């Protein structure tokens, strides 16, 4: 899979190299079951048309740009992990568009022509609520017209759980409330984060959202082994601290994945063993 970081300066270069493709559109943070429905739908369409499959995402998150940085966005997955997942879903090209004030000011027709038609898109697939262009004025009902009738459109219906739309937002909300046991209904699997372990604490890689402070049942794993244990998320002035309640010597080659399964105790900084605070 090819990853292309797309911006105003290199757009014309990639337009010149464009071939026909089906494009799945969205932010795709976390790649939950709703996202996978969009990408799988695009995959089937690309196979039907015998063209390449592409995914277009946007970074930084549009909410952080439109809100002038006032809104903090908790990301669910770094690009390195997203790339692995997209490749496993059959994606040929992953476009990451630089989302800035200038891009957000594009009129819907400008976006449709410059970022879709001129990149070779013949069919676009997105969720029912995907919007584009200045103030989100564009939507999947008008994309065919905005593209000069050059792009066919598939709008994917809501994917929900117990009546609630599955979204990155609802996943973040559950993480920040410690409700990790509910996440398989949204992600299709337990939430995972990758960390460096220094023998005392875990240092998560960037672009993950940590669960609320508390004690959690987890699985720790690396290439060599896995271990069922408990991890404590501790709130502190310098940021969250993650520590394990048991010895994890089989996993001490530093790079560890934490699979969050269940909140055991909703704890705060004052109720955790004092020895953990002396780090």
Q: Residues 75-91: pLDDT tens digits?
A: 999 999 999 999 999 99
Model pTM score: 0.89
Which pLDDT value is given to residue 253?
Answer: 66
Long-range contacts, stretch 14-20, CB < 8 angstroms, 24+ apart: 14/119, 15/114, 15/118, 15/119, 18/118, 18/119, 18/120, 19/51, 19/52, 19/120, 20/49, 20/51, 20/52, 20/120, 20/122
Query: Up-side HSE of residue 156: CA atoms within 13 Å toward CB?
Result: 25
* Per-residue tens of pLDDT for the chain, all 279 residues: 999 999 999 999 999 999 999 999 999 999 999 999 999 999 999 999 999 999 999 999 888 888 665 667 789 999 999 999 999 999 999 999 999 999 999 999 999 999 999 999 999 999 999 999 999 999 999 999 999 999 999 999 999 999 999 999 999 999 999 999 999 999 999 999 999 998 889 999 999 999 999 999 999 998 888 899 999 999 888 888 999 988 887 666 689 999 999 999 876 544 444 444 433
Which pLDDT value is given to residue 246?
Answer: 83
Task: Indicate the CATH number for domain 2-157.
Answer: 3.40.50.620
Token reading at 83: 């790339």
- Give bridge partners of residue 216 from the DSSP assignment: 231, 263
* Domain boundaries 164-277, CATH class: mainly beta
Domain boundaries, the chain: 2-157, 164-277
């Amino acid at each position: 899979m090819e990853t292309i970081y797309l911006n105003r300066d290199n757009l014309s270069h990639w337009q010149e190299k464009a071939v026909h493709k089906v494009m799945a559109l969205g932010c795709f943070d976390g790649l939950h079951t709703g996202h996978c429905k969009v990408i799988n739908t695009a995959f089937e369409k690309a196979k039907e048309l015998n063209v390449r499959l592409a995914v277009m995402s946007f970074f930084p998150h549009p909410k952080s740009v439109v809100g002038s940085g006032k809104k903090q966005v908790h990301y669910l997955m770094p690009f390195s992990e997203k790339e692995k997942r997209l490749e496993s879903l059959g994606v040929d090209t992953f476009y990451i568009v630089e989302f800035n004030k200038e891009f957000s000011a594009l009129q819907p027709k400008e976006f449709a022509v410059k970022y879709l038609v001129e990149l070779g898109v013949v069919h676009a697939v997105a969720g029912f609520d995907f919007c584009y262009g200045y103030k989100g004025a564009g939507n999947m009902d008008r994309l065919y017209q905005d593209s000069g009738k050059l792009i066919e459109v598939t709008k994917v219906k809501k994917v929900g759980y117990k009546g609630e739309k599955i979204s990155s937002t609802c996943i973040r909300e559950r993480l920040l409330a410690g409700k990790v046991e509910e996440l398989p209904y949204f992600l299709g699997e337990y939430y995972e984060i990758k960390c460096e372990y220094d023998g005392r604490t875990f240092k998560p890689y960037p672009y993950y959202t940590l669960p609320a402070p508390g004690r959690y049942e987890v699985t720790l794993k690396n290439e060599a082994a896995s271990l069922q244990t408990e991890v404590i998320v501790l709130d502190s002035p310098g940021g969250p601290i993650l520590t394990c309640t048991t010895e994890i010597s089989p996993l001490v080659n530093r790079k560890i994945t934490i699979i969050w399964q269940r909140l055991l105790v909703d704890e705060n900084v004052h109720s955790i063993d004092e020895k953990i605070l002396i780090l």
